Amino acid sequence: MRKIEHSIKYNILSLLFLIAYIGCMFVLVVESLTPGTKSAQKSNAVGNAVGGFINDLGGDQAKEIDATGCNINLGKEHVFSVGENYKLNVETYPLDSTHKSYEYYSSDETIATVSKSGMVTFVSSGTVTIKAINTVQKEIYDEVALIVNDIMPTKLTTTILNATYNEELNCYEVEKNVSYKIDNLIEQDNDSIMIKLSHTYLR
């Protein structure tokens, strides 16, 4: 919507400029046909005014809007779990600022790493600070402290791969002196992280 409004405004300014330009050119022609020093001075004045108007119009279109601040908007609590990934969202103020790209840094990459695009990967438990710095205006930055917790399992599923499961007895049937591979699946409460542990036992 902002781009459409900007385009309409630019078209209106262009039309007004064209009308003013035609009017000024008409005055210049009339003054040039009128003998006398005063007419020449008027022509120069009008020409200078047209030139100044053109420079002002071009300057307005090329003017950059500096950022005055930014904010890392997490959209959730500052608590994460080991193994999670989270994409940072940085809001720049004012919203129509020219420069909105950022560089990202982690205070401790053993706890969390952050990519060039702002994707944070949580490696181990602890507290880490993530910082975003505007790539052009280095004085514009924001940082957040994040807490990373170990995985808290809420569900454990055990499977004996090479054993027969008896549904009536609700148990596995095993034999003596036979090796069985047991897989343990640990799941977090949000099902976003799963850890699979395999062990071999002799029964």
Q: Give the tokens for residue 171.
A: 């148990």
Q: Give the tokens for residue 132.
A: 């975003």
Which pLDDT score is estimated for 124? 94
Exposure string for 176-202, b = 16+ CB within 10 A, e = fewer: eeeebebeeebbbeeeebeeeeeeeee
Interacting residues of 135 by C-beta distance below 8 A, sequence separation 6+: 99, 101, 102, 103
Closest by CA position to 132, among listed 73, 86, 191: 73
Closest by CA position to 157, among listed 128, 200, 196: 196
Note the pTM of the prediction, 2 decimals: 0.51
Which pLDDT score is estimated for 129? 97
d(CA 50, CA 98): 29
Closest by CA position to 14, among listed 2, 6, 26, 25: 6
Which pLDDT score is estimated for 158? 80
| Tens digits of residue pLDDT in 16-34 | 666 766 766 666 555 555 6
Which pLDDT score is estimated for 47? 56
Which pLDDT score is estimated for 4? 43
**Average pLDDT of the residues of the chain:** 77
Mean pLDDT of 42-61: 55
| Tens digits of residue pLDDT in 119-141 | 999 999 999 999 999 999 999 99
Which pLDDT score is estimated for 191? 47
